Amino acid sequence: MSETAPTIFIIFGITGDLAGRKLLPALLALYSKQLLPQQFSIIGVARRPFNREEFRQFIREHINVRTGQYREEDVKHFIDHIEYEQGVFDNQDLYTRLAQRMENIQTRFKQCSNKLIHLSVPPNLCENILNRLAIAKLHVPCADKFGWTRILVEKPFGNNIDGAVKLEKLLGSLFAEDQIFRIDHYLAKESLQNILTFRFVNSLFEPLWNQKFIDRIHIRLLEKEEVGIRAPFYDQVGALKDVGQNHVLQMLALIAMEKPVGFTAETIRKERAKVLKSLEIVSGKALKDHVCRAQYYGYEKEKGVIEGSPTETYFMIKCFVGNSRWRNVPFFLESGKALKESKTEICVYFKSEDDPDRENVLIFRIQPDEGIKIRFWIKTPGFPMTVEPKTLSFKYSELTGHMVLPDAYEKLIYDAIAGDQTLFASTDEVMYAWKFITPILQSWANIPLAHYKKGSMGPLE
Ligand code: BG6
What is the model's pLDDT at position 420?
94
CA distance 340 to 454: 7
Is the distance from CB of 250 to CB of 187 less than 8 angstroms?
Answer: yes
223 lines ligand 1 (CB under 6 A): yes
- At residue 401 the predicted structure's pLDDT band, cuts being 50, 70 and 90, is low
Is the distance from CB of 9 to CB of 151 less than 8 angstroms?
Answer: no
- 114-119 and 149-153 strand pairing: parallel
What is the model's pLDDT at position 288?
85
CA distance 359 to 376: 8
- Say how many Å lie between the CA of residue 230 and the centre of ligand 1: 11
- At residue 328 the predicted structure's pLDDT band, cuts being 50, 70 and 90, is very high
- At residue 17 the predicted structure's pLDDT band, cuts being 50, 70 and 90, is confident
User: Given the CA of residue 22, which atom of ligand 1 is nearest to it?
Assistant: 14
CA distance 17 to 13: 9
CA distance 335 to 222: 5
Q: Flag whether pLDDT at 272 surpasses 90.
A: yes
User: Given the CA of residue 344, which atom of ligand 1 is nearest to it?
Assistant: 16
- At residue 285 the predicted structure's pLDDT band, cuts being 50, 70 and 90, is confident
436: β partners: none
User: Given the CA of residue 342, which atom of ligand 1 is nearest to it?
Assistant: 16
User: Given the CA of residue 246, which atom of ligand 1 is nearest to it?
Assistant: 3
Which of the two residues, 375 and 4, has the higher pLDDT score?
375
Q: Flag whether pLDDT at 98 surpasses 90.
A: yes
Sheet holding 330-336, edge to edge: 387-395, 371-379, 361-367, 343-350, 214-222, 330-336, 314-320, 291-296, 449-452
CA distance 379 to 356: 17
Average pLDDT, the chain: 92
Q: Which domains does the chain have, with CATH numbers?
A: 7-154 (3.40.50.720), 187-405+421-452 (3.30.360.10)
Catalytic residue among 62, 247, 290, 402: 247
Instruction: Give the closest residue (by CA) to ligand 1 atom 4.
Output: 243
CA distance 298 to 310: 13
- At residue 323 the predicted structure's pLDDT band, cuts being 50, 70 and 90, is very high
Q: Flag whether pLDDT at 360 surpasses 70.
A: yes
Q: pLDDT above 70 covers what percent of the chain?
A: 97
Q: What is the dihedral of CA 140, 144, 149, 150, to 10 degrees?
A: 120
248 lines ligand 1 (CB under 6 A): no
Residues ≥6 apart with Cβ < 8 Å to 409: 22, 23, 25, 26, 185, 188
The least confident of 221-225, 282-286, 357-361 is 282-286
The CB-based long-range contact list for 73-79 (8 Å cut-off, 24+ gap) reads: 74/28, 74/31, 74/32, 75/28, 77/31, 78/27, 78/28, 78/31, 78/32
- Say how many Å lie between the CA of residue 244 and the centre of ligand 1: 11
206: β partners: none
Is the distance from CB of 339 to CB of 458 less than 8 angstroms?
Answer: yes
If residue 389 lies in a helix (H) or strand (E), which one and from where to where?
strand 387-395
The number of beta carbons lying within 10 Å of the beta carbon of residue 8 is 24
Question: Any idea what DSSP says for residue 179?
Answer: G
Q: Flag whether pLDDT at 3 surpasses 60.
A: no
Instruction: Give the closest residue (by CA) to ligand 1 atom 6.
Output: 242
Q: Flag whether pLDDT at 67 surpasses 70.
A: no
User: Given the CA of residue 408, which atom of ligand 1 is nearest to it?
Assistant: 14
Residue count of the chain: 461
Cβ burial, residue 197 (10 Å; 0-12/13-18/19+): exposed
242 lines ligand 1 (CB under 6 A): yes
The number of beta carbons lying within 10 Å of the beta carbon of residue 374 is 17
Answer yes or no: 247 catalytic. Answer: yes
What is the model's pLDDT at position 461?
67
- At residue 435 the predicted structure's pLDDT band, cuts being 50, 70 and 90, is very high
Q: Flag whether pLDDT at 405 surpasses 90.
A: no
- DSSP class per residue in 100-121: HHHHHHHHHHTS--EEEEEE-S
Q: At what angle do helices 24-32 and 72-80 cross, to 10 degrees?
A: 110
- DSSP class per residue in 320-364: EB-STTTTT-EEEEEEESSBS--EEEEEEEEP-SS-TTS--EEEE
Query: Closest Cα to residue 54, out of 79, 22, 29?
Result: 79
**Prediction pTM value:** 0.93
CA distance 119 to 27: 15
- Say how many Å lie between the CA of residue 4 and the centre of ligand 1: 31
What is the model's pLDDT at position 68?
64
- At residue 182 the predicted structure's pLDDT band, cuts being 50, 70 and 90, is very high
243 lines ligand 1 (CB under 6 A): yes
Query: Closest Cα to residue 160, out of 245, 81, 218?
Result: 245
Pocket test for ligand 1, best of 235, 243, 344 (most atoms within 8 A of CB): 243
Pocket test for ligand 1, best of 190, 222, 223 (most atoms within 8 A of CB): 223
Residues ≥6 apart with Cβ < 8 Å to 228: 302
Among 67-71, 146-150, 346-350, 377-381, name the most confident range: 346-350
What is the model's pLDDT at position 2?
44
Instruction: Give the closest residue (by CA) to ligand 1 atom 7.
Output: 243
CA distance 151 to 133: 11
- Residue pLDDT, tens place only, 39-59: 999 999 999 999 989 999 999
User: Given the CA of residue 227, which atom of ligand 1 is nearest to it?
Assistant: 8
- Say how many Å lie between the CA of residue 241 and the centre of ligand 1: 12
Is the distance from CB of 433 to CB of 426 less than 8 angstroms?
Answer: no
Cβ burial, residue 134 (10 Å; 0-12/13-18/19+): middle
- Say how many Å lie between the CA of residue 142 and the centre of ligand 1: 35
- Say how many Å lie between the CA of residue 339 and the centre of ligand 1: 14
CA atoms within 13 A on the CB side of 423: 23
Q: pLDDT above 90 covers what percent of the chain?
A: 79
Instruction: Give the closest residue (by CA) to ligand 1 atom 11.
Output: 243
CA distance 82 to 137: 23
- DSSP class per residue in 86-100: E--TT-HHHHHHHHH
Give the mean pLDDT of 165-193. 95
- Say how many Å lie between the CA of residue 221 and the centre of ligand 1: 9
